[in-house]
Amino acid sequence: MKINGIDIADYGAKLLSREISHSDTEIYAFWPRNALRPYISPTIRRQAKELDIEIEFKGAADIIETNKSLLLKDLAIPTIKFAALPHYYKGYLTDHSITDKLYGYEVISVKLLVVEEEEEVTTEINATLSATVHMPGNGDTPVRLEVTPSVDVPTVTIEGLGEDLTLTNLTAGKTVIIADGTVTEEGVNKYADYDSWGFPMLVPGDNAITVSVNTLAVKLIYCPRWL
């Protein structure tokens, strides 16, 4: 097991067990009186996974305390990779406790909320009006979108990344980055020139992307998600 790329053996620790839940699912549905079928909303909300792990420490008491402190610090907002599993688990620590303790030996139980993701993928759509992007995961996946015009562009609309989005007042050679709920151009807030009901995302399978002008380099950066 690695935490942020560091093997837990470097903390003098060993993974004893892991338990990974499926993503919590919220479905709005009800069965009207005398109806032959229930009403089921097409909108399904997916939540994070719960990840429970047990970690063992051995050694002198002071060494255990130091290693435990270092490991828990790095587990606060971690990227976790298990040797036997193909994907990464990214999230945050929700709880931890000591479950067993003897002289020279200690076991801690750690709980996290995480999402399961593949390695980062970069897809470029350059100077074209349409493209198809295949997303191999089975969960909706947020996208870091980078848009760089080759000439000044008064307005551009991009469709196929969830809600349609429009950018205005693009300057040649300056990259606009849409990611994590922010819109910036060379580090400066550009949200006033962004119009959409949401932020870029990909759905599982093929995503048909259209761009209203062909003088842009469009880059999609994402980690395919699994439920």
Average pLDDT estimate for 184-205: 96
Share of the chain above pLDDT 70, in %: 100
- 45-95 pLDDT, tens digit per residue, is 777 899 999 999 999 999 999 999 999 999 999 999 999 999 999 999 999
pLDDT confidence bin for 185, thresholds 50/70/90:
very high
Distance (Å, whole) CA 185 – CA 16: 46
Backbone angles phi, psi at 66, to 5 degrees: -65, -50
In the prediction, which pLDDT does 207 show? Answer: 97
Mean per-residue pLDDT over the chain, rounded: 94
pLDDT at 43 (0 to 100): 74
**Whether this model's pTM surpasses 0.85:** yes
Residue 189, H or E segment:
strand 188-189
pLDDT at 34 over 80: yes
Q: Is the pLDDT of residue 44 over 90?
A: no
**DSSP letter (8 states) at residue 21:** P
Least reliable range by pLDDT among 42-46, 144-148, 151-155, 195-199: 42-46
Question: What pLDDT, on a 0 to 100 scale, did the predictor assign at position 20?
Answer: 96
What's the half-sphere exposure (Cβ side, CA atoms, 13 Å) at 122?
A: 6
Residue 172's pLDDT is what?
97
Q: Is the pLDDT of residue 24 over 80?
A: no
Which pLDDT score is estimated for 46?
73
Separation of alpha carbons 148 and 26, rounded Å: 38
Q: Strand, helix or coil at 179?
A: strand
pLDDT, position 202: 97
**Separation CA 131–CA 208 (nearest Å):** 6
Confidence of residue 15 (pLDDT cuts 50, 70, 90): very high
